[in-house]
Amino acid sequence: MPIAPISAVPALPPMPSLLGSGPAAPAASTSFGTLVSNAVNGLQASQSAASAAEAQSAAGQGNLADTMIAASKASLDTQIATDLLNKAIASYTGIMNMSF
């Protein structure tokens, strides 16, 4: 009895960027201000989507699972943004406290 070979595993799709809807690796010409602006806009969009899903679910029109996923995503995005902000402030403080 011959054993059939295992077929090729399809490639995974590229991961979305945490910095907005752009490619996973930002282009070399993208400025820091643009990256921060995209990140803040992505965070706001995530929170707005969660709020809309909660309103639909409260009205009895939405799916509870989708609402929970949207709320979890918004919470995780907010935690990441907060941690990045705290790291940036700590780095800035560390640089300002250096003596030259």
Q: Tell me, what's the pLDDT at 49?
A: 93
The list of the chain residues with pLDDT below 70 reads 15-28
Q: Tell me, what's the pLDDT at 42?
A: 92
What do you get for the CA distance between the two ends of the chain, in Å? 77
**In terms of Cα–Cα distance, which of 89, 73, 86 is closest to 18?**
73
Q: Tell me, what's the pLDDT at 54?
A: 92
pLDDT, tens digit, 9 for 90 and up, residues 13-38: 776 655 555 555 555 678 888 988 99
**In terms of Cα–Cα distance, which of 79, 73, 100 is closest to 16?**
73
Length of the chain as a residue count: 100
Both tokens of 9, joined, read: 């595993």
Q: Tell me, what's the pLDDT at 26?
A: 53
Q: Tell me, what's the pLDDT at 12?
A: 73
**CB of 73 closer than 8 Å to CB of 50:** yes
**Residue 50 CB neighbour total at 10 angstroms:** 21
